[in-house]
Amino acid sequence: MYVRRRSVRSILTIIAVATTALLGLVLLVFLTNRKVDREVTAAPPAPAAVPVKLTAAQRAALPRSTTWTKIPKAQPDPRPDAAGDGLLVHPTTSKIVYAEPGGPAIGVLPATQLDDPTWLPVIESRPQWVRVLLPSRPNGSTGWIHTGDGKTKQSRSPYQVHINLTTRRLTLLKDGQENGSWTVGIGTEDTPTPVGRTFLLATLSPSDVDYSPVILPLGMHSEKLQTYDGGPGTIGIHGWPDKSVFGKAISHGCIRIPPAGLTALSKIPIGTMIVITK
């Protein structure tokens, strides 16, 4: 009897273990099937927004986005103190600027700015679209351009420029590391240097300017002066023959930089992000 009872217990134990294993297997199959079902029935990614088509008359009525113009319907920069990742975009032909992907047109971006190719920093990306800083007023204007038509090129600048108005110091970074730093002259209290994100718009070597061999206009304008010296009040970085100006609030808004700094900045790619803070 003792031996027989032990055999019954063994059989029951085996049955319990087998039942548990079977239930575990059933549960595993059930969960696996649920996962496969979810993967099979997952919604496909949303298609890229399609640009709004314009007539020739509608296109002609749009303002051009240059340093001379204003884009009234441009959206402001959502992160004016962020550095960005160095991504740049160049329209190989004039491109429509939109308020948002698939949204209304707000301007036309030409392929050149001040006789240099248009290169703009990208601050946001979506499928077949990029959001860029614009060279027009008001400061911090942004817009979206469609890249899905193959009429843009992209590049990446390893450089960033940080300008601190409180310390009156310009720092050039390459791959996140300091590549040079200089004490600079900035705008006065009456004509201050604006703050926010901007970019190197062009590199100019005007023959009729005697105070600097190179002028580096930015995609930013004076908030106090609508025009200056025949121009649209564009803020720039340039040299100055008198070194006593460096470290002072002395300009009409432009950044005055020593010769070594001007030489270094004149070699960075057009479109490189420049962040000005207080």
- Contacts of residue 63, Cβ cutoff 8 Å, sequence gap at least 6: 69, 70, 71, 72, 106, 107, 108, 136
Q: Annotated active-site positions, please?
A: 238, 254
Identify each DSSP E strand in the chain by its residue range: 75-76, 87-91, 95-98, 105-109, 112-113, 116-117, 120-126, 129-133, 141-146, 152-156, 159-164, 169-174, 177-183, 186-187, 196-199, 215-221, 234-238, 249-251, 255-256, 273-277
The C-alpha angle 245, 251, 256, rounded to 5 degrees, equals 55
Exposed e or buried b per residue across 180-217, where buried means at least 16 C-beta atoms within 10 angstroms of its C-beta? eebebbbbeeebbbbbbbbbbbbbbeeeeeeebebbbb
110, exposed or middle or buried, with CB in 10 Å at 0-12, 13-18, 19+? middle
Closest Cα to residue 262, out of 200, 207, 175, 220?
Answer: 200
Q: What are phi and psi of 113, to 5 degrees?
A: -135, 120
Contact 83, 111 (CB under 8 A): no
